[in-house]
Structure 1
Amino acid sequence: MTKWTYNHSHRKTSSKPIQATLLLIGGIILLIFAIGLSILYGASDITARTVIQSIINFNSNSTSHQIIRGLRIPRALAAALIGAGLAMSGALMQGMTRNPLASPSIMGVTAGATFSMAIALVVTPGASNFIMMLWAFLGAGLGVAIVFGVGSISKTGLTPVKLALAGTAVTALLSSLSSAIAIHFNIAKDISFWYAGGVSGVQWLQVQLLTPIALIGFVIALFLANSITTLNLGEDVAKGLGQRTFAVKLIGTIVVLLLTGAAVSVAGTIGFIGLVIPHITRFLVGVDYRWIIPCSAVLGGLLLVVADTISRMVNPPFETPVGTITALVGVPFFLYLARREGGSM
Structure 2
Amino acid sequence: MESYLRKWCLVSMWVLLLGLGFKVKAEPQVPCYFIFGDSLVDNGNNNRLSSLARADYFPYGIDFGGPTGRFSNGKTTVDEIAELLGFDNYIPAYSSVSGEQILQGVNYASAAAGIRDETGQQLGQRITFSGQVQNYQNSVAQIVQILGDENSAADYLRRCIYSVGMGSNDYLNNYFMPQYYPTSRQYSPDQYADDLITRYRDQLNALYSYGARKFALVGVGAIGCSPNALAQGSPDGVTCVERLNMPNRIFNNKLKSMVQQLNNEHSDAKFIYVNAYGVFQDLISNPSAYGFRVTNAACCGIGRNGGQLTCLPGQPPCANRDEYVFWDAFHPTDAANTLIARRSYKAESSSDVYPMDISQLAQL
Greater RCO, 1 or 2 (C-alpha within 8 Å, sep 6+): 1
Q: When the two structures are superposed, what TM-score results if normalisation uses the length of structure 2?
A: 0.30
Relative to its length, the structure with more strand (as a share) is 2
Q: When the two structures are superposed, what TM-score results if normalisation uses the length of structure 1?
A: 0.31
Relative to its length, the structure with more helix (as a share) is 1
State which structure, 1 or 2, has the greater radius of gyration over its C-alpha atoms.
2
